[in-house]
Amino acid sequence: MINKIKKWSIDFFAKEDSTYHILAFLISSVLFPTIPIIWFIVFMKEKMIFSYDFFTNGMFGLSIFFFISLILLLLFGFLLVGSVVFLVIIIYKIKEDSSINYLYLYLFFFMFIFNILGNYTIKLPEGFFVYIFIFNLFLFLHIGVLSIGKGFDKFITLIIFIIVFSISTNYYQTIISSFIEYGLLQFRMGGNIKTKIIDMKNHENTLEGNLTLLTPNKVFLHRDKTITIFNRDNIIIEIMDKNITK
């Protein structure tokens, strides 16, 4: 039985390159949309909270937030390392027929200069800059291989990206948490924005603190070095301003 399974697996992966094409595209299509979810879980881990209701009642709004976060990071990546895609295409074209379409060459040099300017002009915290540079370098390398490379190469660059993403995300957890926190601040859903909780039955009964996270059912309020969790029933949430308290 074991020998049959072993033989089947060898035959399966020894088939045409299409096997690796399919695997690479399937895994990529599942992995990439989950990247912002992983970042959000890292944020909650850093803040030592977890919101079940966000993943049940608030998925539509959360999906929009995740989508915008991913687009923003990809835009940063395009500014920093977008030329990698064209470099990969040029290398494959040369390997295939020892010639090159000068359009790709012009696009590469244009993007390379654009990336140099982007690296010098984008002002980001050092740790965050390093993380998005590493993340996007291997992501755009994989995108370049996905667009023109062989199936096995696509699978290998995907594995490399997963390894690099896992290691860098684990190492830069605080940086990722700050990135998510900044996004929550812009949507007034968290980010340590000053907030007042008012009891609907007794308006004189109030609590003030810094909003860590606002979910469909819960309010996570940071006050006196602790996180206080409120149910949103029978309370008024007054978001006071966008000043971040460190």
Residue 236 is part of a domain; what is its CATH number? 2.30.30.100
Give the closest residue to 66 by CA, choosing from 238, 187, 216.
187
Is the domain of 118 the same as that of 233? no
Highest mean pLDDT, choosing among 87-96, 154-163, 196-205, 235-244: 154-163
Predicted confidence at residue 246, as pLDDT, reads 40
Looking at the fold, whether 165 and 238 belong to one and the same domain comes out as no
When pLDDT is averaged across residues 176-195 and rounded to a whole number, the result is 86
The closest of 32, 111, 60, 81 to 216, measured between CA atoms, is 60
Instruction: Give pLDDT, residue 162.
Output: 93
**What are the pLDDT digits (tens) for 40-81?**
899 999 988 888 777 777 666 677 877 887 788 788 888 888
Are both 82 and 179 inside the same structural domain?
yes
Model pLDDT for residues 139-158, shown as the tens digit of each residue:
999 988 888 888 788 888 99
Question: Both 83 and 199 in a single domain?
Answer: no
| Amino acid code (one letter) for 144 | G
What domain range includes position 25?
17-183
Whether residues 221 and 117 fall in one domain: no
47 and 137 housed in the same domain: yes
Within a domain: 174:
yes
pLDDT of 245 above 70 = no
Count of domains in the chain? 2
Residue 1 has pLDDT above 70, yes or no: no
Task: Among 183, 216, 235, identify where a domain stops.
Answer: 183
